[in-house]
Amino acid sequence: MLDSILFSVFPGIVNGCVYALIGVGFIMIRKTSGVFNLAQGQIVIFGCYIFYSFGVDIGLPIWGSILGSMVVGITLGVLVERGLMRPLYGQPIMASVIITLAFALFLEGILSLGWGNEFLVAPRIFPRGVAVRIMSATISYDQAAIIFFTIVMFALIIYFFRKARMGIAMMAVSEDQTTSQSLGIKVARLVAISWAVACALGALGGILITNISGIHYSMTEIGIKAIAVAIIGGFESFGGLLIAGLLVGVCESLGIAFIDPYVAGGSVREIVAFVLMTIILMTKPYGLFGWEKIERV
């Protein structure tokens, strides 16, 4: 029993880490500019395809292609902010959300046009093989790398938002845009930076996870799951985000192990995150670790 639980929990932890990693970008955009970036998944998979193209079509070494795809991600983020978000300053927030939806559709078209319909296998970053073995449950090198990388990344992010000048400025912007602008913070630049970081981090998380599973443009769903994770965690604490990610990931794999045998065709994995999100939204709208803002209606 314990054996099978462990066996299914480890992949869940890995998935949860990736959700949290992608969710960071989402939260940064949400906090600096108030926009829900619903194109996150498409941006992530776009980064993965760029990685594939750099690695296979051009033949760069792996570290080169990771760096290259992150640079492309940053460029994409800045372009989106300049081209699509900045004209909408002062418009209702709905307009910018619809823009991100349309951008998602746009990228979806670009992806299927550029890379076709097949499952692509990117060059492997980490060697095959088992890193850790606990009873019959195993963690492979790439899974261990994802977990390690996520922990490092989150430590950096939490440090950034607690100590670094720019991080504190971002927190201020998320609290009140107008006030922070009048106190001399360059809000527009911070928004551009948060888009760039979101796209780069998203690409990185996507590269790590597609290294295990292969790339297909239908995997854009991962971005929406990351949004669900961000909602569950609440928008204020990054540690909470990581916990929410792990929660969703583990629930998913436990669902696969223990509920799926009783389900006819598909897998509960596809909906666990959304069911959890709906429950959280109905009971605790500001997430598990978010600050409650008093607002009626």
Partner 1 sequence: MSLPCGVYNETYTKDFALARTKTHWGLLIGWVVLVMALPLFIGPTLMSWLTLVGITAFSSLGLHIITGLCGQMSIGHTAFMAVGAFTYANLAKYGLHWIFAIIVSGIYGALVGTLFGLPSLKVKELYLALTTLAAQFIIPWVLLEYFGGGFGVVPPDPEIFGIVLKKHYHFYYLAWIFTLVFTYFVFNLGRTKMGRAYKAIRDHDLAAEAMGINVGLYKVSSFTLGCFIAGIAGALLVIWIGRADVEHFTIMESIWYLAFIIVGGAGSVAGVFFGVLFIRGLWELSVILSGVLIEGFPALPESLTSAVPTILVAGVIIVFVILEPRGLNHRWAIFKESYRLWPWSYW
The residues in 198-237 that bind partner 1, with binding defined as CB under 8 A, are 224, 227-228, 231
Three-point CA angle 44, 256, 1, nearest 5°: 130
The verdict on 75 binding partner 1 (CB under 8 A) reads no
* DSSP bridge partners of 215: 120
Alpha-carbon distance of 75 to 196, in angstroms, equals 7
Q: Are 65 and 51 in contact (CB under 8 A)?
A: yes
The residue among 35 and 208 lying less far from partner 1, judged by its C-beta, is 35
User: For partner 1, which residue of 252, 277, 289, 290 counts as binding (CB under 8 A)?
Assistant: 277
Q: How far is CA 95 from CA 20, 161, 167, 178, in A?
A: 26, 29, 27, 20
Which of 106, 141, 149, 160 touches partner 1 (CB under 8 A)? 106
Q: How far is the CB of 275 from partner 1 (least distance, A)?
A: 6
Q: Contact between 67 and partner 1 (CB under 8 A)?
A: no
Using CB under 8 A, pick the residue from 2, 57, 117, 133 that binds partner 1: 117
Sign of CA dihedral 95, 99, 101, 105: positive
Q: Fill in the per-residue mask, 25 to 64: x = in contact with partner 1 (CB under 8 A), - = not in contact.
A: -----------x-x--------------------------
Residue whose CB is less far from partner 1, 135 or 275: 275
CB contact at 8 A, 39 and 223 = yes
Q: How far apart are CA 154 and CA 110, in angstroms?
A: 31
Gap between the Cα atoms of 85 and 99, Å rounded: 8
- Provide the binding-site residues for partner 1, judged by CB under 8 A: 36, 38, 84, 87-88, 91, 93-95, 97-99, 101-106, 108-110, 112-113, 116-117, 224, 227-228, 231, 263-266, 270-271, 274-275, 277-278, 281-282, 285, 295-297
